[in-house]
C-alpha cells in the first residue's frame, strides 16, 4: 500500500494538513516467463516495485518543489496479514518487499516456449502452467492473480479447449489476447477470436487485449457489440468484460471514450507517460462526465518488463493538484476497479464434498481472529496446506467508500480483516474455501466449504445481500459458537479432518 500525506487543509473534502491515507495498488498488466531478453518471476516483480517506489519519490520531490503536489507519498506498507505470512518462513521473508503494489495481474510473454508442442496442441500451454505455478501457491498467491493466454490462430477448438483448461483446471482468472503478436489484428471481431472471447465471458473471466491504435479499439468495440447484440450469447453478454490495454495508445481520442461508455469495456494505463497522463484523465473527466462513472473505467497497469518506471507518472499525477478527481477516484483507478473486475473467488472444477459450515465467535477485541490467523498461517508455512489464493473482500460492485485517514482507522475500501482463502492439500481432493468475515456486533465468522459444490461462494463483495439465500441458509443451519480461540481452532480442525 502507498501511504500519502496531505500537504494542506482541504476543508471541502474533510481533509486536514498532514492527514495520512493508505492506498491499495493493483498492477493490472504484468508479464512473467521468458521472451528473448525478457525474464521475470515473482521476485523480479517485487524488485521492480521497489524500484518504482524510488521513482515515485523522486518525481514527487520534483513536483513538491514546484508546489504541484497535493498528497506527498511518504511510505509503503504491506497489509498486516500478508506481512505476517511473508515473515512466517525464512525463504518467504526475502520476498517481503515491493509493497508499493499489493496485487499484480500476471500473464505470459510470447514465451520462448509458447509454441505448440504438436500439430493438435495449443500455444501457451506450458506458459499457462508456469503462470499457474507462480500465482497459485503460497506465499505469492496472496499477491499475484494469474491470467492465461491462448492463440486464436491455433483454431477455434484448440484455443477454446486451452482456455477452458487454464480457467477450469489451473484456476487462472482472466485471459490476455495479443492480436499483433499472434497476427489476428484483422480478425478480432470474427471467427476463432470471437468464439474464444465469448467462451471467456461465459466462464465469467475478463479479457485484456493488447491494443496499439484506435483502429484496434474500433475492432474491439465491434466485437463487444456483436456479442452483446447476439441473442445466442445471453450468458456471455451478461458477464462480458473487455480491457483495452495501453488505452489504445490514444489517450485523448474521442473513440476511446465512446468505447469506454459501454459498461463492458475498461482500459488500462500501461505505456502512458509524460503528457499522455493528463491527456487521458482530463479527457476521461470531460467526455465521461465528472459526475458520471468516469473513474470506474480506468485501471493502473505497468506492462513490466517491457516497460518499467514510467508507470510512476500515473501514480504521481493522481497525487498532484492537476488531477481533477478525489482520493476515492484515485483509489479506484489505482486498485479498486481491478479488484471489482476480478471479484470471483479462485476455483478450479475439482469437486469437494465438504458441506458448508460456520463457526462464529464473539471477538470485539480481535484477539480470537489474531490467534486463528496465527494458526492458519503456521499450517500454511509448514506445508500442511497450500494456499491457492488469498483475496480480501471488496465493496459491492460500482460502489467505493470514502478513504479514511490512518488516524481514524485507515480503511480504504479493501477489507483486510475479511477475506477468502483457498486451501488445498495432498490428502484431500479439491479446493477448500475458508471464509473469514467480521460481522456486526464484534462477531467473527469463519465459514468452511468446498470451492465447488451445490452451495458455494460466488463473489468477494462484502455485503450480506451478495451472499445469496441458499448459501446464507446453509451456513446458518450449520453454525456453531466457539467460546475461545482454542475452541475455534479445534472446531476448524475437526471440520476439515
Ligand atoms: Zn504487455
pTM of the entire predicted model: 0.97
Q: Which residue has the cell 469437494?
A: 352
Cα 131 to averaged position of ligand 1 atoms, centre (Å): 15
Instruction: Give the Å distance between the CA of 287 and the centre of ligand 1.
Output: 27
Each of the 497 residues of the chain gets a pLDDT tens digit; together they read: 999 999 999 999 999 999 999 999 999 999 999 999 999 999 999 999 999 999 999 999 999 999 999 999 999 999 999 999 999 999 999 999 999 999 999 999 999 999 999 889 999 999 999 999 999 999 999 999 999 999 999 999 999 999 999 999 999 999 999 988 888 888 888 899 999 999 999 999 999 999 999 999 999 999 999 999 999 999 999 999 999 999 999 999 999 999 999 999 999 999 999 999 999 999 999 999 866 689 999 999 999 999 999 999 999 999 999 999 999 999 999 999 999 999 899 999 988 778 899 999 999 999 999 999 999 999 999 999 999 999 999 999 889 999 999 999 999 999 999 999 999 987 777 899 999 999 999 999 999 999 998 899 999 999 888 888 899 999 999 999 999 999 999 999 998 87
Contacts for 185 with CB less than 8 Å, ≥ 6 apart:
179, 216, 219
Question: Which residues fall within 8 angstroms of residue 198, CB to CB, at 6 or more apart?
Answer: 227, 233, 236
Cell numbers that stand for 129 in this block? 502452467
DSSP 229-268: T-GGGHHHHHH--EEEGGGGG-TT-HHHHHHHTSTTEEEE
CA 141 – ligand 1 centroid, Å = 21
Domains of the chain: 2-341 (3.20.20.140), 357-496 (no CATH)
Dihedral angle computed from the Cα positions of residues 81, 410, 8 and 99, in that order, rounded to the nearest 10 degrees: 20
What angle, 0 to 180 degrees and rounded to 10, lies between the N-to-C axes of helices 214-228 and 191-202? 60
Return the pLDDT at 292.
Answer: 61
Going along 269-408, which residue ranges are E strands? 298-299, 357-362, 386-393
Supply angle C-alpha 61, 308, 343, rounded to 5: 100
| DSSP-based three-state secondary structure for 136 | coil
Q: What are phi and psi of 55, to 5 degrees?
A: -65, -40
- Residues around ion ligand 1, judged by CB within 5 A, are 303
210 C-alpha to ligand 1 centroid (Å)? 7
Q: How far is the CA of 211 from the centre of ligand 1 (A)?
A: 9
Q: How far is the CA of 472 from the centre of ligand 1 (A)?
A: 41
CA of 312 to the centre of ligand 1 (A): 17
My answer on whether omega of the bond before 305 falls inside 30° of 0, hence cis, is yes
Q: Report the C-alpha gap between 334 and 299 in whole angstroms.
A: 6
Amino acid at each position: 500500500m502507498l501511504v500519502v500525506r496531505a500537504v494542506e487543509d482541504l476543508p471541502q473534502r474533510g481533509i486536514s494538513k498532514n492527514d495520512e491515507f493508505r492506498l491499495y495498488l493493483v498492477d493490472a498488466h504484468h508479464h512473467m516467463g521468458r521472451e528473448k531478453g525478457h525474464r521475470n518471476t515473482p521476485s523480479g516483480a517485487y524488485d521492480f516495485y521497489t524500484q518504482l517506489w524510488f521513482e515515485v519519490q523522486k518525481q514527487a520531490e520534483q513536483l513538491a518543489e514546484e508546489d504541484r503536489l497535493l498528497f506527498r507519498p511518504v511510505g509503503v506498507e504491506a497489509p498486516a496479514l500478508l506481512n505476517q505470512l511473508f515473515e512466517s518462513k525464512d525463504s518467504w521473508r526475502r520476498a517481503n518487499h515491493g509493497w508499493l503494489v499489493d496485487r499484480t495481474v500476471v500473464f505470459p510473454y510470447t514465451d520462448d516456449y509458447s509454441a505448440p508442442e504438436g500439430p493438435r496442441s495449443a500455444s501457451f500451454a506450458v506458459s499457462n502452467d508456469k503462470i499457474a505455478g507462480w500465482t497459485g501457491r503460497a506465499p505469492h498467491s496472496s499477491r499475484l492473480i494469474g491470467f492465461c493466454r491462448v492463440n486464436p490462430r491455433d483454431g477455434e477448438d484448440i484455443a477454446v479447449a486451452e482456455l477452458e483448461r487454464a480457467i477450469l483446471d489451473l484456476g487462472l482468472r482472466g485471459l490476455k489476447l495479443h492480436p499483433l503478436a499472434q497476427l489476428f489484428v484483422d480478425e478480432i471481431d470474427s471467427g476463432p477470436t470471437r468464439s474464444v472471447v465469448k467462451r471467456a465471458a461465459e466462464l465469467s473471466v475478463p479479457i485484456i487485449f493488447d491494443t496499439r491504435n484506435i483502429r484496434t479499439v474500433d475492432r474491439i468495440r465491434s466485437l463487444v457489440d456483436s456479442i452483446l447484440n447476439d441473442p445466442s450469447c445471453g450468458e456471455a453478454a451478461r458477464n462480458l468484460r473487455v480491457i483495452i490495454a495501453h488505452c489504445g495508445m490514444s489517450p485523448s481520442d474521442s473513440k476511446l471514450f465512446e468505447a469506454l461508455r459501454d459498461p463492458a469495456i475498461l482500459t488500462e494505463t500501461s505505456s502512458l507517460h509524460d503528457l499522455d497522463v493528463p491527456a487521458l484523465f482530463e479527457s476521461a473527466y470531460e467526455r465521461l462526465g465528472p459526475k458520471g462513472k468516469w473513474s470506474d473505467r480506468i485501471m493502473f497497469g505497468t506492462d513490466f518488463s517491457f516497460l518499467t518506471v514510467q508507470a510512476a507518472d500515473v501514480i504521481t499525477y493522481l497525487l498532484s493538484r492537476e488531477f481533477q478527481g478525489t482520493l476515492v477516484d484515485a483509489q479506484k483507478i489505482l486498485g479498486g476497479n481491478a479488484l471489482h473486475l476480478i471479484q470471483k473467488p479462485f476455483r478450479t472444477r475439482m469437486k469437494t464434498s465438504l458441506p458448508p459450515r460456520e463457526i462464529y465467535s464473539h471477538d470485539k477485541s480481535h484477539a480470537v481472529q489474531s490467534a486463528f490467523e496465527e494458526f492458519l498461517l503456521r499450517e500454511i508455512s509448514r506445508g500442511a496446506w497450500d494456499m491457492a489464493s488469498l483475496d480480501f473482500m471488496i465493496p459491492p460492485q460500482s460502489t467505493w467508500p470514502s478513504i479514511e485517514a490512518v488516524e481514524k482507522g485507515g480503511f480504504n475500501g479493501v477489507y483486510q480483516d475479511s477475506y477468502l482463502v483457498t486451501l488445498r492439500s495432498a490428502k484431500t481432493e479439491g479446493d477448500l474455501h475458508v471464509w473469514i468475515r467480521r460481522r456486526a456486533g464484534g462477531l467473527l465468522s469463519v465459514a468452511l466449504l468446498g470451492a465447488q459444490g451445490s452451495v458455494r461462494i460466488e463473489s468477494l463483495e462484502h455485503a450480506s445481500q451478495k451472499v445469496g439465500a441458499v448459501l446464507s441458509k446453509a451456513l446458518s443451519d450449520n453454525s456453531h459458537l466457539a467460546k475461545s480461540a482454542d475452541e475455534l481452532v479445534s472446531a476448524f480442525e475437526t471440520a476439515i479432518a
